């Protein structure tokens, strides 16, 4: 009996030692550094650089995600970003973590120029260098570069920076998806509903005028 046991152990030991050596060899021989995934994750983040995720900027959050951080902490990205991340990482999308704030309409910062004292605080705060101005001169936000992170609002000693919601205009307008009736529970569609279903952008207002 004991010989049998010893043979068994010896065989397994032999196998394991060989395999272990092989793996040890491979681990050293085929070592790689760096992770391309971070770049891919970073590419999906909105680059607002607002820090709401709890990381100083999008890239740090991308790195954190790569290390297992939850993907639902970026309010500017909102659902779209979460879905894209879920898709990339092949995990289930989760709803936005409320602790990090809610998704908001896109905004830009606008400085009320005559109140600005030129303290340059906002320049220091802006993560993308979208504010122009020299010390003691009034400052301006380059609208096209502003990410709407609102990081400049708080440091301003005279509170002269406003976050303005970007309103859609006729050139940025896009068609809304049709209103799908399917969602209305327990209701038989009537003739009037028929129009609502295929209605266009201003569903709400026009619906009101119709019904």
Are residues 161 and 137 in contact, defined by beta-carbon separation less than 8 angstroms? no
Residues 95-114 that bind other proteins (CB under 8 A): 98-102, 104, 112, 114
Q: Where are the beta strands (DSSP E) in 89-160?
A: 107-111, 131-132, 140-141
Residues that bind ligand SF4 (CB under 6 A): 45-46, 48-53, 55, 57-58, 61, 74-77, 111, 116-122, 133, 139, 155-156, 158, 160-161
* Pick 10 or 166: Cβ nearer ligand SF4: 166
Instruction: Report what 137 binds from ligand SF4, other proteins, none; CB cut-off 5-8 Å by kind.
Output: other proteins
Which residue, 119 or 128, has its beta carbon nearer to ligand SF4? Answer: 119
Choosing among other proteins, ligand SF4, none, which partner's interface includes residue 111 (Cβ < 5 to 8 Å by kind)?
ligand SF4
Smaller CB separation from other proteins, 82 or 130? 130
Q: Is 119 in the site for other proteins (CB under 8 A)?
A: yes
Q: Does 94 bind other proteins (CB under 8 A)?
A: no
How far, in Å, CA of 120 to CA of 156, rounded? 9
What pairs with residue 131 in β-bridges? 141
Cβ at position 131, least distance to ligand SF4 in Å: 7
* Maximum C-alpha span of the chain: 96
Asked if 52 and 100 touch (Cβ cutoff 8 Å), the reply is: yes
Under a CB-based contact definition with an 8 Å cutoff, are residues 121 and 136 in contact? no
Q: Which helix (H) or strand (E) holds 66?
A: helix 58-66
Footprint (CB under 8 A) of other proteins, residues 160-179: 163, 169-170, 172-178
Binding to other proteins in span 128-157, by CB under 8 A: 128-130, 134-137, 144-145, 147, 149-151, 153-155, 157
18-77: contacts with other proteins (CB under 8 A): 18-32, 36, 39-59, 73, 75
Instruction: Please list, residue by residue across 61-88, b when 16 or more beta carbons sit within 10 angstroms of its beta carbon and e when fewer do.
Output: bbbbbbeebebbbbbbbeeebbebbeee
């Amino acid at each position: 009996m004991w010989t049998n046991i010893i043979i068994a152990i010896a065989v397994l030991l032999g196998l394991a030692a060989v395999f272990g050596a092989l793996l040890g060899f491979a681990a050293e021989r085929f070592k790689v550094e760096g992770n391309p995934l971070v770049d891919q994750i970073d590419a999906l983040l909105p680059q607002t650089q607002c820090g709401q995720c709890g990381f100083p900027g999008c890239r740090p959050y991308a790195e954190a995600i790569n290390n297992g951080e939850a993907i639902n902490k970026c309010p500017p990205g909102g659902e779209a970003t979460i879905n894209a991340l879920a898709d990339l990482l092949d995990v289930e999308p989760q709803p936005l973590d409320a602790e990090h704030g809610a998704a908001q309409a896109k905004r830009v910062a606008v400085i009320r120029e005559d109140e600005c004292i030129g303290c340059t605080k906002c320049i220091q705060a802006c993560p993308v260098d979208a504010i122009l101005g020299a010390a003691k001169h009034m400052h301006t936000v380059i609208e096209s570069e502003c990410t709407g992170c609102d990081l400049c609002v708080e440091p301003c000693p005279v509170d002269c920076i406003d976050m303005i919601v970007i309103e859609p205009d006729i050139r940025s307008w896009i068609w809304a998806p049709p209103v799908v009736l399917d969602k209305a529970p327990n209701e038989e569609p009537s003739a009037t509903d028929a129009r609502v279903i295929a209605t266009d952008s201003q569903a709400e207002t026009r619906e009101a005028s119709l019904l």
